[in-house]
Chain A
Amino acid sequence: MSDVVMAEIRKDYLYHLVLKGERADGRAFDEYREIVLETGPVKKADGSALVKLGNTQVMVGVKIQPGEPFSDTPNKGVIITNAELVPLASPSFEPGPPNEVGIELARVVDRGVRESGAIDLEALCITPGEKVWIVFIDVHVLDDCGNLMDASSLGAIAALMTAKVPAAQYALGEDYPLPVKDVPVATTAVEFGDAIIFDPDTDEESVADTKLTVITTADGLVCGMQKSGPGFISQDHIYRIVDIACERAKEIREKFLEV
């Protein structure tokens, strides 16, 4: 279960391709793998989505239940995001509570949802100071073939957009669609020498030292960012990634989220 050292001959090959402007699977540097999105696969959940990004597969489930608000925000609903990197998804995932990678994934997905204002927290208030709706976003990774961040974020917003508040079973009125006011989309790229590669697969992620995720809203605002990995990132690259992120996210919204 420990990580295998990648053969240098493979690393050399990937760099060699990048110098020629190519990638191992023939994609352009800013090209995404095929995306398949299925909403509502888990009918028992209040919202759900299965995302396939190339061979990466992530299932996101949304459960909405009444609960107590936080004491410092008595009129606001609560969002709780968790990510499970279950061992079935990769030879390097071990059973146990989320490690720093899983926690980071959950917090960045959460950031996109929260900072974009996608969910109107005040609208989730039932009785101020006593009862509010708690929205649980649970990311369940099924197959890690690179770029869990974008797949998980897409799954989260798709699940939220098709979620229903189950008011009836709590005698709080009729069920109604969860009001979603924005559509945050994450775009991730890795730095590879002088090149920036979007939607990295497993090998590209292992070889690169630096990764940047940029989350944008439907209006083209940047609402979340995360640089991860032990390397440097140049300012030029950051600006380029932000520009391309806005374009990519718009395409994904139009194609998959009907926005």
Chain B
Amino acid sequence: MSELTPEQVKHHIKTYVLVFVSLAFLTIVTVGISYLEVSVGMGITLALIVASIKGSLVACYFMHLIDEKVTIYWTLIATVVAFLILIFVPLSAILDHTKI
């Protein structure tokens, strides 16, 4: 992001404002979902989908991941793989219990 022209920066600023409005709206949606009369599983799924959309907006636009260098993408791909393993370890324990 170091070689941006002032015009490009001004265009980015408009995007930041749009992303901010979207994040504020999605926060209200997240809270609204928690009051819905749905099953726990459905509630968790919906809340995590909204949180993932919010997280993606922050990462893509505020952290400029949408137009970053390949080096960073590779670093993050490795991180995501390790993160998923970490998250699925407890789930494998549940499967273990189910077998018993």
A binds B: no
Residues of A within 8 A of B (CB): none
Residues of B within 8 A of A (CB): none
